[in-house]
Amino acid sequence: MSEAVAQSGGRTWRKPPAIERPWLRYGLLVFTLIYLYFAVGSYDVNWARVAEGMERGWKFIKAFANPDFVSRRSDFIEGMTESIIMTVTSTVVGIMISIPVALGAASNLAPLPIYLFCRTIIAISRALHEIIVAILMVAIFGFGPLAGFITLSFATIGFLAKLLAEDIEAMDKSQAEAVKATGASWLQWINYAVQPQVMPRLIGLSMYRLDINFRESAVLGLVGAGGIGATLNTAFDRYEFDTAAAIIITIIAIVMILEYSSSIIRRWVQ
Amino acid sequence: MMSSNAATSDKPVWQHRTTGKQLAIWFAWLVFVAVFVACWMFISNRTEWYFVYDAPRIAADIWGRATPPRWPYLDKIWKPLWDTLNVATIGTALSLVFAVPIAFLAARNTTPSATLIRPIALLFIVTSRSINSLIWALLLVAIIGPGILAGTIAIALRSIGFVAKLLYEAIEEINLDQVEAITATGASRWQIMSYGIVPQIMPAFAGITVFRWDINIRESTVLGLVGAGGIGLQLQGSLNTLAWPQVSLILLVIFIAVVISEWISAMVRRAII
| A84 and A193 within one domain | yes
- Of the candidates A230, A229, A211, A210, the one whose C-alpha atom is nearest the C-alpha of residue A219 is A229
Assigned domain for A255 exists: yes
| A144 and A19 within one domain | no
Assigned domain for A53 exists: no
Percent of chain A with pLDDT over 70: 96
Q: Which class for A24: exposed (0-12), middle (13-18), buried (19 or more C-beta within 10 A)?
A: exposed
C-alpha distance from residue B249 to each of B11, B105, B109, B225, B238 (Å): 71, 45, 50, 17, 10
Assigned domain for A140 exists: yes
Q: Cβ–Cβ of A251/B90 closer than 8 Å?
A: no
Label residue B7 left, alpha or beta by phi (over 0 means left) and psi (-120 to 50 means alpha).
beta
In angstroms, rounded to a whole number, what is the distance separating the alpha carbons of residues A200 and A263?
12
- Of the candidates A177, A150, A173, A160, the one whose C-alpha atom is nearest the C-alpha of residue A105 is A160
pLDDT of residue B111: 83
In angstroms, rounded to a whole number, what is the distance separating the alpha carbons of residues B165 and B163?
6
Could you tell me which chain A residue has the CA closest to the CA of B223? A131
What mean pLDDT is predicted for residues A21-31? Answer: 85
Interface membership of B78 toward A (CB under 8 Å) = no
| A29 and A84 within one domain | no
| A26 and A137 within one domain | no
Interface membership of B267 toward A (CB under 8 Å) = no
pLDDT of residue B2: 47
Interface membership of A211 toward B (CB under 8 Å) = no
What part of B 115-174 touches A (C-beta under 8 Å)?
A: 126-127, 129-132, 134-135, 138-139, 141-145, 147-149, 152
Domain extent listing, chain B: 3-45, 77-272
Interface membership of B74 toward A (CB under 8 Å) = no
Percent of chain B with pLDDT over 90: 22
Total domains in the fold of chain A? 2
What part of B 168-227 touches A (C-beta under 8 Å)?
A: 195, 199, 202, 218-219, 221-222, 225-226
Q: Which residues of chain B are modeled with pLDDT < 50?
A: 1-4, 6-7
Residue A185's domain spans which residues? 71-269
| A112 and A22 within one domain | no
Assigned domain for A127 exists: yes
Number of H helices, E strands in chain B: 12, 0
Q: Which CATH number is A220's domain given?
A: 1.10.3720.10
Q: Cβ–Cβ of A53/B145 closer than 8 Å?
A: yes
What mean pLDDT is predicted for residues A73-101? Answer: 91
- Mean pLDDT in chain A? 85
Assigned domain for A64 exists: no
For residue B78, the number of C-alpha atoms closer than 13 Å in the C-beta half-sphere is 4
pLDDT of residue B27: 92
| A204 and A96 within one domain | yes
Flag whether pLDDT at A101 surpasses 90: yes
**DSSP codes of every residue in B45-66:** HTS-HHHHHTHHHHHHHHHHHH
Which residues in chain A are closer than 8 Å to B225, comparing Cβ atoms? 131, 222-223
- Of the candidates A44, A36, A18, the one whose C-alpha atom is nearest the C-alpha of residue B93 is A36
The minimum CA-CA distance between B75 and chain A, rounded to whole Å, is 17
Assigned domain for A47 exists: no
Q: Cβ–Cβ of B195/A15 closer than 8 Å?
A: yes
In angstroms, rounded to a whole number, what is the distance separating the alpha carbons of residues B133 and B139?
10
Q: Is residue B118 within 8 Å of residue B204, measured between CB atoms?
A: no
Collapse the DSSP code of A99 into the 3-class scheme (helix H, G, I; strand E, B; otherwise coil) and give the result.
Answer: helix
| A211 and A157 within one domain | yes
How many Cβ atoms from other residues are within 10 Å of residue B30's Cβ? 10
Q: Is residue A81 within 8 Å of residue A226, measured between CB atoms?
A: no
pLDDT of residue A152: 94
The pLDDT tens digits for A158-217 are 999 999 998 888 888 888 888 888 888 888 888 888 888 888 888 888 988 998 899 899
Top residue of A15, A40, A43 to mutate, by most chain B CBs within 10 Å, is A43
The minimum CA-CA distance between B195 and chain A, rounded to whole Å, is 8
Flag whether pLDDT at A80 surpasses 60: yes
Q: How many CB pairs under 8 A join A and B?
A: 151
The pLDDT tens digits for B42-74 are 888 888 788 788 888 888 888 888 888 888 888
C-alpha distance from residue A95 to each of A158, A181, A194, A211, B157 (Å): 10, 30, 17, 14, 30
Assigned domain for A51 exists: no
Q: Which class for B41: exposed (0-12), middle (13-18), buried (19 or more C-beta within 10 A)?
A: exposed
Which residues in chain A are closer than 8 Å to B265, comparing Cβ atoms? none
| A146 and A33 within one domain | no
pLDDT of residue B94: 93
| A194 and A146 within one domain | yes
Which residues in chain A are closer than 8 Å to B134, comparing Cβ atoms? 131, 219, 222
Q: Cβ–Cβ of A129/B222 closer than 8 Å?
A: yes
In angstroms, rounded to a whole number, what is the distance separating the alpha carbons of residues B267 and B60?
38
For residue A10, name the pLDDT band (cuts at 50, 70, 90). low
| A126 and A18 within one domain | no
pLDDT of residue A9: 57
Assigned domain for A54 exists: no
Task: Residues B77-272: name the CATH superfamily.
Answer: MetI-like (1.10.3720.10)
